[in-house]
Structure 1
């Protein structure tokens, strides 16, 4: 169910408290590489996703977070809707959100989690309003 607003503000999808499962077609050579290296493919992918999303848990570290972002940017994702500077700003804001977590007891973690949900709803809404429609051709011209 989507959150609807009456003041013509963009619709914000509900934040999920649980993981979303998707299916991927993974090339056989990636499976074989992970087997040879003794790493779980699901762990590799999960850590990359956590790094890209500036997660608190299950990440590799700050250097890896920025490398994930650079990969994402090199692929040109989102350039049909935002400028490169805007996308970097989004990632910077997610890093600031991550940095707000100071640790603490269970009550502090619950308080942060509630604040994080409110922040992400506003963050999403603000960026959705800034989205500029474009075409893939325009994005490719920027590369």
Structure 2
């Protein structure tokens, strides 16, 4: 099976942890417009994010995400706490986490807590920038899949 065939046949389950409904809607629209192979699941706070990845409570029937896009500034349990729990759980630590920042300072704040995400991406300001952002997420995912399968 060629890599191209694998790409067209593999769906990615993405968990977006984003408290801003406007940003969430932009993500959904841009993922759809870019026609990427994925399902995007959206939660707006840290507790819901952890319930989702643990597949408990209202998320018991949801798939475990292949990748998590995490906004560090969340209501309730912070994105830092979510990242810490993900990275300290042997099963969940395998899930790549992309921390969405609004500036370089956001990356430094996460790192100041002694935590390291798989990567950091600055949120685009202009809606048209989301397409490129979405493609970079897809490329990041396929790079991980290819690395882990070799």
Tell me the TM-score normalised to structure 1 length: 0.42
Tell me the TM-score normalised to structure 2 length: 0.40
Q: Which has the higher contact order (CA 8 A, sep 6+)?
A: 1
| Structure label with greater radius of gyration | 1
Higher-strand-fraction structure: 2
Higher-helix-fraction structure: 1
